[in-house]
Chain A
């Protein structure tokens, strides 16, 4: 064990001077997570990203209900920001100059057209550079239009059936009978990470696989540089050499991930969850990453070949496991396949931790540990050929 520690300490001293590793293990993941959060974070509802303008030229009940019941409720939930325009022209200008993502134009006569069964329309004007926001605006308008159509159909059917109730009362009754659209604040108690934590964790686990790489390919580097022969000639057990190399990967992984957790919490406001749960997940994740990368290194003939294969493995596992986007939401085969990725279990563990107590991380930790034991054992078996005399 002493020799393994000595070998790992030497490796770490050398790695500490490797600026490439600093960039790969800390700067890059933190930077990318920050960029993703800036670009995409608001979509997930952390703060309103879309500003919608509304120009009500109608002033009738249909228009005011849309503005009051649909748009203002959405704004009150924090999902959008609402801005009232004095005219259609002003609303178009707001969209044109980028102040608003999209505008709802409620034309004069809208209420009357709905009441008389005429052609009624709510026009949505979208910014060409904001297709997502425009789609959301269109969806809101379409949902309201569908709701109006349902009421009108119900009233018409009732009137034709000879029921003497006035249509206005029938309409009220029909509206009350329809399910109410509601925006529910769902940030507590749910098993889901907020955007900042999702991206920070995704990048952390993705780059973790690169951070442990120099440690586990160290044996191939030593063979290439001739120092492996020197280690083999020393009074050191071969298993100590292997253990030292794996230990280097584990320590680099733990340090870089710990730094990322702290930095993303302080700088980006990521909420990782209970420290004990996070620590368990990080340790299990690092062991799994080390094991996986060690297997790839053990199969490769050279350090350079291992680097290429490891990059492919890290990218495929990362993409499958949801490091970039939540693949599991796609469902079906993709969801099932993603279960082989340690990334998936790491992120799932964090999500479970967000919605539960520390014990919630135990199943993902168990899976990651099993993955680590399996791959680590396989790597040791395969690496024996490298150090076999």
Chain B
């Protein structure tokens, strides 16, 4: 059973449709990335999923509990990490966590545990306003984890974060997913989405324009992997041998190098290297380029993710 099921979500602000008929599901332990340019409707979608914003139409169901009829019960299953730092700066890190823990009915042991998880135990009794930007981000994430949610919603949790804190947040998310928590994640960092997300949904102008695993999206768009080779020896033999391979769709020679277009580089690379060796060439370097989500995103929306 899906942990989160969204169907036909709609929300307008005045005459402007911010989200228009968005549907998706997230399974237990799955990390789902919601990608889109600024103003595409990501935050509005997330706000409806968390119950912060009411829907004009559609339904949000968390573990079988509908937000429309049992909002309080559904919210107990959802952890929310908003895009903005949502902290009380004049309270300590521990006080921030204890306050939100009390709202969700979580105990003090859970607060201590979460402080350990996000690496803030040593600074727990300092005022939040004295934290570095990265520490504030980690505290922001920690609040969302307090009540052991079944669905964790993270709205750009690593925006403006130093690499160390970013890695810690990503590792936390991975660990949660491994424990079976369903994750809904938005980010501007494509490499982050590729590292973390099992599936992504691409949203543009309020509509979900594509959805699936990275490779599915790439294949759906006809994008292919590329292998760049630098060789010693006569390139004609290698070109001929590679051109005869079923998995190689195109070969182009330039200087001492060859450029191959293949279906799945990771699958056919051993065969390619064997063919080159058999042709009497020596491989000096290999570079594999897979079409990334940025390519897919650009193809689907006509915009870069950071626009």
Contacts and interface: CB of A to CB of B under 8 A. Distances in A.
Contacts of B52: 229, 232-233, 389
Interface string B59-82: 000000000000011011010101
A13 interface: yes
B78 A226 contact: no
B50 interface: yes
Interface residues of A, number: 21
Contact of B86 (A17, A230, A237, A389): A230
Contacts of A233: 50-52, 75, 78, 80, 82
B89 to A, nearest CB: 8
A186 interface: no
B86 A235 contact: no
A227 B89 CA distance: 11
Contacts of B102: 6
Contact of B72 (A6, A226, A235): A235
Contacts, number: 68
Q: How large is the interface on B (under 10, 10 to 19, 20 to 34, 35 or more residues)?
A: 20 to 34
A3 B82 CA distance: 21
Contacts of A3: 103
Contacts of A231: 103
A14 B50 CA distance: 27
Contacts of B54: 388-389
Contacts of B95: 10, 13
Contacts of B40: none
Nearest to B84: A226
Contacts of B27: none
B281 interface: no
A18 interface: yes
A23 interface: no
Contacts of A10: 88, 91, 95, 99
A225 interface: yes
A236 B88 contact: no
A234 B52 CA distance: 9
Contacts of B53: 389
B261 interface: no
Contacts of A388: 54
B51 A389 contact: yes
Interface in B77-112: 78, 80, 82, 84-91, 95, 99-100, 102-104
A48 B87 CA distance: 58
Contacts of A230: 80, 82, 86, 100, 143
Interface in A257-305: none
A6 B90 contact: no
A30 B292 CA distance: 68
Contacts of A227: 86-88
18 contacts: A13-B95, A14-B90, A225-B86, A225-B89, A227-B86, A229-B47, A229-B50, A229-B52, A229-B84, A231-B103, A232-B52, A233-B51, A233-B52, A234-B75, A234-B103, A234-B104, A235-B75, A235-B76
A6 B106 CA distance: 13
Interface in A1-43: 3, 6, 10, 13-14, 17-18
Most-contacted residue by chain B among A13, A17, A226, A233 (CB, 10 A)? A233
A245 B90 CA distance: 17
Contacts of A13: 91, 95
Interface of A: 3, 6, 10, 13-14, 17-18, 225-227, 229-237, 388-389
B72 A237 contact: yes
A148 to B, nearest CB: 72
Given A229-B80, A230-B143, A235-B73, 9 more contacts: A6-B102, A14-B90, A225-B89, A226-B86, A229-B52, A230-B82, A232-B51, A235-B103, A237-B72
Interface in B138-173: 143
Contact of A18 (B82, B90, B103): B90
Given A233-B78, A234-B75, A235-B76, A6 B88 contact: no
Contacts of B89: 225
B10 to A, nearest CB: 14
Given A10-B88, A237-B72, A229 B82 contact: yes
Nearest to A240: B103
Contacts of A234: 75, 100, 103-104
Considering the complex of A and B, which 10 residue pairs feature the smallest CB-CB distances, nearest first? A226-B84, A389-B54, A226-B86, A233-B80, A233-B50, A230-B86, A235-B75, A235-B72, A232-B52, A234-B103
Interface centre among A6, A229, A231, A388 (most CB of B within 10 A): A229
A194 to B, nearest CB: 41
Given A13-B95, A234-B100, A226 B85 contact: yes
Nearest to A236: B103
A11 B103 CA distance: 14
A269 B253 CA distance: 101
A229 B73 CA distance: 17
Contacts of B90: 14, 17-18
B13 to A, nearest CB: 13
